[in-house]
Structure 1
């Protein structure tokens, strides 16, 4: 019998159970019985998960690739930074996904191609746009951070006219997402 064996394994060896498959079966039964005595009603133990990892159930958004293509067909660059490399742009919803019907979620008119920092500001309601294209900056937004992101706070910035479909979604953004006061 190998040194350092557990008690159930020692019992298997000392009882001289004839076949190795029977030994394994008896061992498994002993371990299961021990587990049930520690955690009644819990069944078999779950495999250990390292502390640096966790298991998660992820709900993914279907159609995101199609949505991005549709937005790119309308918007070719970030309206504020003018970055036009698709690798550095996010297809951002004007009317957020959670508030949309299935059709609105994939409507290219419901989107703008934005750089990540501009997307963050737009998504959180720190900036929005008038139908005419004038940039709106929330009084809640941190002015120092905006200046570091090259957003002109004291100047009138116009990013160009929006389509009629975009104007409908931007109306929702201004009324329900944009932060107008502290």
Structure 2
């Protein structure tokens, strides 16, 4: 999931047939398990990964099992979506397809799909429309729970809600530890945002939401890149650039992508939160 990029082609294989072709509309992002799943997937974690995909249902779904003479030689040795007999693999939820296999599946599904996979037809993509809305809904629900929690007084409630926006007590605590943007070196507080390393929505306790060592002071453009997982930092201060990031855009925003950048040392507690950021926020690509 964390290796998907906007514009990637997604084949939907359900009940032995290719029922739809989709185009990824967003990068991967965290999201709660949908309520409509019901009892399905109860063993899954409450928080998982989501990618917004625009699907087009096929009027005549193709059955790969009927074409294994041409498909079988193109199956990868590892993480194959199909068995040699054409049946799907239960343990594979999402896997990358070799181009040769994707091309043959597309050929069997029809010329429009083949042109799309070969890049002869431009895919209509949305500018990550689903991602911000889904996260906003999630955070709004968490805010509602805080607002209705009888164990919290009004001051604490407002303090926690302000922390979501990087304001109030959280900002003050970050300011006590961070004096400037680690990347751009801007040091005027007016131009800096207090950004969570472990996102506010992911914090297990309210103490984590207000912990000053769970934050960095960043200029707005760097805050955007850090919040969306296009950059992160190693424990020793080395800047990490996501492989899916657009290098030219990052360069224009003051993030060097063609040279190493060390932003300085972090405390043990900061390293703890940055580890979460690298594991769960930073976008990946194989």
Same fold by TM-score, threshold 0.5 exceeded?
yes
CA distance in 2, matches of 1:98, 1:124: 14
Partner residue in 2 for 1:69 = 172
Partner residue in 1 for 2:181 = 78
CA distance in 1, matches of 2:254, 2:183: 9
Q: How does 1:3-82 map to 2 (within 5 A)?
A: 59=143, 61-63=161-163, 64-82=167-185
CA distance in 2, matches of 1:86, 1:147: 23
Task: Kindly report structure 1 stretches of 4+ aligned residues shifted beyond 2 Å.
Answer: none
SS, match of residue 147 in structure 1: helix
Query: For each residue in 1:117-144, what CA deviation from the matched residue of structure 2 results, as whole angstroms up to 9, or x when unmatched?
Result: 0000000000000000000000111111
Larger radius of gyration: 1
Partner residue in 2 for 1:125 = 229
Query: For each residue in 1:28-77, what CA deviation from the matched residue of structure 2 results, as whole angstroms up to 9, or x when unmatched?
Result: xxxxxxxxxxxxxxxxxxxxxxxxxxxxxx75714530000000000000
Q: Which has the higher contact order (CA 8 A, sep 6+)?
A: 1
Partner residue in 1 for 2:16 = none
In the TM superposition, residue 94 of structure 1 has moved relative to its aligned partner by 0.1
SS, match of residue 171 in structure 1: helix
Unaligned runs of 5+ in 2: 1-139, 144-157
SS, match of residue 74 in structure 1: coil
Match of 2:199 among 96, 101, 105: 96
CA distance in 2, matches of 1:75, 1:62: 19
Q: Paired residues, what number?
A: 125
Q: How does 1:155-166 map to 2 (within 5 A)?
A: 155-166=259-270
CA distance in 2, matches of 1:83, 1:91: 13
Unaligned runs of 5+ in 1: 1-57
SS, match of residue 81 in structure 1: coil
Counterparts in 2 of 1:149 and 1:62: CA distance versus 1, 3 Å: closer
TM-score where L is the length of structure 2: 0.42
